[in-house]
Amino acid sequence: MIFDLSSTLTGHKDRVWAVKWRHCGKILASCSSDKDIRLWKQSQNDDNWSCDYVLSEGHQRTIRNIDWSDDGNYLAACSFDATTSIWENKSGKWDCSLNLEGHENEIKCVSWSPSGKLLATCGRDKTVWIWERIEENEFECASVITAHSQDVKRIKWHPKEPFIASCSYDNTIRFSKEINDDWSCYQTLDLHESTVWAIDFNATGDRLVSCSDDKTVRIWKAAEDKWTCIATLSGYHNRPIYDVSWSPTSNLIASAAGDNSIVIYKETQPDFFEVLIRKEKTHTCDVNSISWNPVKSNLLASCGDDGLAKIWDIK
Amino acid sequence: MADGPGFSSVLQLTDLNDFIAPSQACVKPIKQDDQVGIHEKKKVEITLGDCLACSGCITSAETVLISKQSYIDLYETLDKKKSGQNITVIVSLSHQAIASIGARYGQGFQDSARLLSSFFHSIGVDYVYDLTFARHISLIESQKEFIERKKSGTATLTSICPGFVCYVEKTHGDLLIPYLSTVKSPQQIMGSLVKSLWPFGTQNKSDNYIYHCTVMPCFDKKLEASRTEFTQEDGTADVDCVLTPIELEALFDKEEINFTDLPHRPLDVLHPSLKISDSDSVATHPGNGSGGWSENIIRYGISYFNQSPLNPRIPLKIESKRNKDFLEVTLSPSLENDFTPESKKLTFAIVNGFRNIQTLIQRIKRKTFKYDFVEVMACPSGCLNGGGMIRGDSVDNKLFEKVSELYSSLETYHLSLDDNHDTIKDLYNEWFSDEVLREKLFLTTFKTIPKTDNLLNVKW
């Protein structure tokens, strides 16, 4: 198996916090403590990736995370300035069309529902907010879920059903859905022994992967609304694991950690996962985020505290 | 009675997130450590006053709901009284709390009130009242304020809910304080009346220290009672202690009190002229279980701008917008022909729960806000679902339905909400004719609490 560096994307002036592929697989977005979002594209002449667009002046502090809407026309970004910005693509130009206010302080993650009608945000104020699109450019708060007892690090919509998973500094993963006119938590997974930094669903939505400060990756399986842990992958990272990504095309799982390495896992037999490769020194500092390309299954993007984003060729 | 942390164990049972949970890290200890050089570290104590004066968190941590605000404080006061100190102890019961206790112990509303009266008298309390009259004053004052504001083109947001007030002051003070009603809540009007005018109808103010305890549907009322705005000249609070039904239930369990076996005893009467009728029943105001602020005040507004007599039963259209906790209140369309344009255009709202408060705030910010008056409560479903109300065992909370049923079973208070009504006029002339006194008793103020930028606490 090869794990080669395909491109190094330079331009951000501070730590890069997140990378996300647009659903077409042709644009990569990254966000940074430098308060910019950069869009990266492959040039037509050569295969090199370069910065195609800088979305700036949307936030006053670190942009912690970003998410593309399924149709690719909107990019949501959340920031430590307690706001979420919605960027809209208007004939090739990106404009900040909206700013959502409400969180008490730092927002850690933002996620579009598959339909694009709902948006979820979460953050240090321990809450998860569900925003509902009322009109083209108007969102209103549909719910504030106060299930977590600490900082909420990530949220992710299920790819098919109308519910969300969230994970937190309180060591839990929680599932929330709309019950009787309001949203509330209906299931909690508490097997991780420290902060759960990230979660991701597989393409069909019957599996969830989580990673933690406890240096483990866990795989969870759904059976009739109930999630159980089917695998604990430990011993592959020796520092906190900050991100996991489940490839929608190859079904491979990638994890990235504070030990500067990226590990790739595969389900070799039903419910049995093995490490395919462990790549060290992918970045010179913490690897903060990774994202599988949704079209070209061999491409994995990563970013880190070294201010760089990278694209890897894995096959 | 044994002292100890009984209060906090009660608090652990309940969900204090009436509103929004406290911030992860209180900033106060950090501020204490900013001196340079070697110094002995002192234990940092955080009082409720500190929390109210700081924007670090939205509401205070449960541990900060100091022992002052627990039944232990009431019992200690009763002990002092028994040992000969000159103290008069008064307990005021909110409608919601009486309903909660009734629902929990399978009692009707009036029986619940009589049992509570009996219980408090049995432990040495001198007088047990309900809050109907205080709410009546609060509604009348709110009506007057509404008319003034409407004429000057300013919308009104109620300030009855201390969770909402706390949130406004700490996060959106400059934007929202101009909209807040300056009329005190029923709890605080009762506090003023009890501390300034009791015993009612006599010229002689009591020499005793009056200790005033209220029983309220939410923990946030403890915060309200602790505000510096609600103190007497000598620094003592208008409401010394706030208890909730959850704490009373724990107290009955702890002291092994067979609540339902107590003899019935009617509530005490504030003043003969304020009674509903010859019966000793508790009455309520028309409208929802939070107190019917929007419903009563819009009816007053309609009558005022239509120049017709106040009809406390005039049909309203109450329509759900977005969800069941965002309601719009207008005059019933069937009546529109008989009313002036100004009166039928009045649009009020009832906004419950944090999510809808957010929508409200964003609309005010974006200037898409169109209401004349909004009743705002931090708890979903309003005060009948307050954080201090006893919960049912199951998720569907059958007790809430029972509480609503008990509340709706009440007769309506016969005293008119019309300030042109003779009784009301006489009342104001006799007791509250002095404008300075009226303001002191019934109105309050708010202040923006500056944001503390606390970058030291950043967690990635």
A74-79/A83-90 β-pairing: antiparallel
* pTM: predicted TM-score of the whole model, two decimal places: 0.85
Q: What is the pLDDT of residue B414?
A: 83
Measure the CA–CA gap between A190 and A109, rounded to whole angstroms: 20
- Fold category of A1-26+210-315 in CATH: Methylamine Dehydrogenase; Chain H (2.130.10)
Give strand pairing partners of A196: A212
Nearest to A73 by CA among A31, A141, A24: A24
Of A38-47, A294-303, B451-460, which range is least confident?
A: B451-460
Closest CB to A102 among B353, B358, B458: B358
The answer to whether the Cα torsion of B165, B171, B174, B175 is positive or negative is negative
Taking residue B94's Cβ as centre, other Cβ atoms within 10 Å add up to 29
Contacts of B362 in chain A (CB under 8 A): 101-102, 140-141
Contacts of A169 in chain B (CB under 8 A): 459
Contact A105 B362 (CB under 8 A): no
Per-residue pLDDT, averaged over B288-298, amounts to: 97
Confidence of residue A104 (pLDDT cuts 50, 70, 90): confident
B186-235 tens-digit pLDDT: 999 999 999 988 887 666 667 889 999 999 998 889 889 988 899 988 88
Best A79, A86, A141, A168 member to test B by mutation, with max B CBs in 10 Å, is A141
Tokens representing B136 are 């009546």
Contacts of A80 in chain B (CB under 8 A): 458
Contact B17 A146 (CB under 8 A): yes
B322 to chain A, any CB pair closer than 8 A? The answer is yes
For A182, nearest residue in chain B (alpha carbons): B323
B87-93/A93-101 β-pairing: unpaired
Residue B329 or B66, more confident: B329
pLDDT at B50 over 90: no
Element (H, E) at B88: strand B87-93
Domain with CATH 2.130.10.10 in chain A: 1-26+210-315, 57-190
Contacts of B455 in chain A (CB under 8 A): none
Per-residue pLDDT, averaged over A224-244, amounts to: 96
Per-residue pLDDT, averaged over A9-20, amounts to: 97
Measure the CA–CA gap between A276 and B237, rounded to whole angstroms: 69
Asked if residue A69 lies in contact with residue A112, where contact means CB atoms within 8 angstroms, the answer is yes
Contact B322 A140 (CB under 8 A): yes
Best A62, A79, A105, A186 member to test B by mutation, with max B CBs in 10 Å, is A105
Contacts of A105 in chain B (CB under 8 A): 23
Q: What is the pLDDT of residue B427?
A: 86
Residue B2 or B214, more confident: B214
Contacts of A97 in chain B (CB under 8 A): none
Per-residue pLDDT, averaged over A35-54, amounts to: 91
Query: Quick one: what percent of chain A has pLDDT higher than 90?
Result: 93
Measure the CA–CA gap between B187 and B238, rounded to whole angstroms: 9
pLDDT at B48 over 80: no
Q: What is the pLDDT of residue B1?
A: 32
- Fold category of A57-190 in CATH: Methylamine Dehydrogenase; Chain H (2.130.10)
B23 to chain A, any CB pair closer than 8 A? The answer is yes
Contact A126 B458 (CB under 8 A): no
φ, ψ for residue A120, nearest 5 deg: -120, 145
Contact B23 A105 (CB under 8 A): yes
Of A11-25, A115-129, B6-20, B278-292, which range is least confident?
A: B6-20
Q: What is the pLDDT of residue B3?
A: 32
A195-219 tens-digit pLDDT: 999 999 999 999 999 999 999 999 9
B229-261 tens-digit pLDDT: 999 888 889 999 999 999 999 999 999 999 999
pLDDT at B63 over 60: no
Contacts of A144 in chain B (CB under 8 A): 20, 354-355, 358
Q: What is the pLDDT of residue B112?
A: 98
pLDDT at B6 over 90: no
- The single-letter DSSP state of residue A161 is S
Q: What is the pLDDT of residue B430?
A: 86
For B170, nearest residue in chain A (alpha carbons): A104
Of A43-57, B23-37, B93-107, B339-353, which range is least confident?
A: B23-37
Measure the CA–CA gap between B368 and B360, rounded to whole angstroms: 9
Best B355, B359, B456 member to test A by mutation, with max A CBs in 10 Å, is B355
- The single-letter DSSP state of residue B449 is P
Kindly report the average pLDDT of chain A as a whole number: 96
Per-residue pLDDT, averaged over B68-92, amounts to: 93
Residue B180 or A47, more confident: B180
Nearest to A152 by CA among A196, A93, A117: A196
Element (H, E) at B100: helix B95-104
Per-residue pLDDT, averaged over B392-410, amounts to: 84
pLDDT at B371 over 60: yes
Tokens representing A113 are 């529902």
Of A37-41, A61-65, A253-257, B413-417, which range is least confident?
A: B413-417
What is residue B139's three-state secondary structure? helix
The answer, yes or no, to whether the previous bond of B199 is cis (omega within 30 of 0) is yes
What is residue A163's three-state secondary structure? strand
Residue A251 or B424, more confident: A251
Confidence of residue B391 (pLDDT cuts 50, 70, 90): confident
- A281: Cβ–Cβ under 8 A, 6 or more apart, which residues? A260, A261
Measure the CA–CA gap between A252 and A275, rounded to whole angstroms: 10
Kindly report the average pLDDT of chain B as a whole number: 84
* Angle of helix B435-442 versus helix B186-197 axis, rounded to 10: 130
Buried b (16+ CB within 10 A) or exposed e, B166-203: bbbbbbbbeebbebbbbbbbbbbbbbbbbbebbeeeee
Closest CB to B358 among A141, A149, A150: A141
Of A144-158, A277-291, B265-279, which range is least confident?
A: B265-279
- The single-letter DSSP state of residue B205 is P
Measure the CA–CA gap between B213 and B442, rounded to whole angstroms: 19
